[in-house]
């Protein structure tokens, strides 16, 4: 018998979680699921922090249930991207996802196909983001703008002098606002000494 988790979310405009709860309990009963926990959030769908959803995902990672039942997919996620992330993680954890309103069940062949399609869409989106970043970097280079950190300019002579006066690496690093590792590299990056020519 599969262990089921129910997730409900109601906004300030919808004060009737019982409607969702009744439908989900009936669906769980029809499928022979044992309900192990019911999670609920009373919050707008666009809010990032959701204690109920966070608790459910934490329990999912600990293997405390086998299937998640939701009344509708827009109840569980605040955006398409967030929905893809949640579904992808549940799939990786081998936890089935069932939506009452959309009649989505990732345990069946159609549901598994939907997971594959959603995974492909998520991967495409990630690749598009990467390509946009690369295109932006190429454009910045063509326009002569620096990308990334500014080069670190060191006063090697002053670092060598401070070391010669007996300062520790930490003291020098603090004085020059650099790391001790950078001080060490500067001290060991001495110019090559050329022997004087003899007549």
Active site residues: 11
Q: 10 Å Cβ neighbour count for 54? A: 12
What does DSSP say about strands 34-42 and 67-70: parallel, antiparallel, or unpaired?
unpaired
Gap between the Cα atoms of 40 and 56, Å rounded? 9
Give the ranges where the chain is alpha helix by DSSP (H): 17-31, 51-61, 73-76, 80-92, 109-142, 156-164, 169-176, 180-188
Inter-residue contact 68 to 90 (CB < 8 Å): yes
Burial class (CB in 10 A: 0-12, 13-18, 19+), 3: middle
Tokens found for residue 49: 């922090």
Tokens found for residue 63: 């293997």
Inter-residue contact 27 to 69 (CB < 8 Å): yes
């Amino acid at each position: 018998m599969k262990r089921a988790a129910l997730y409900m979310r109601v906004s300030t405009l919808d004060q009737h979680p019982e409607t969702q709860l009744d439908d989900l309990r009936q669906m769980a009963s029809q499928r022979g699921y044992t309900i192990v926990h019911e999670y609920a959030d009373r919050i707008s769908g666009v809010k990032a922090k959701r204690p109920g959803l966070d608790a459910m995902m934490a329990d999912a990672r600990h293997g405390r249930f086998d299937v998640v039942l939701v009344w509708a997919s827009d109840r569980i996620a605040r955006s398409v991207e967030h929905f893809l992330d949640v579904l992808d993680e549940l799939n990786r954890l081998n936890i089935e996802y069932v939506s009452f309103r959309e009649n989505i069940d990732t345990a069946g062949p159609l549901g598994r196909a939907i997971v594959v399609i959603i995974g492909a869409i998520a991967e495409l989106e990630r690749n598009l983001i990467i390509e946009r970043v690369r295109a932006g970097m190429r454009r910045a280079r063509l326009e002569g703008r620096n990308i990334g950190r500014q080069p670190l300019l060191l006063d090697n002579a002053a670092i060598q002098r401070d070391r010669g006066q007996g300062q520790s690496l930490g003291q020098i690093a603090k004085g020059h606002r650099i790391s001790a590792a950078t001080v060490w590299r500067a001290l060991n990056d001495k110019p090559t000494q050329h022997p004087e020519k003899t007549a």
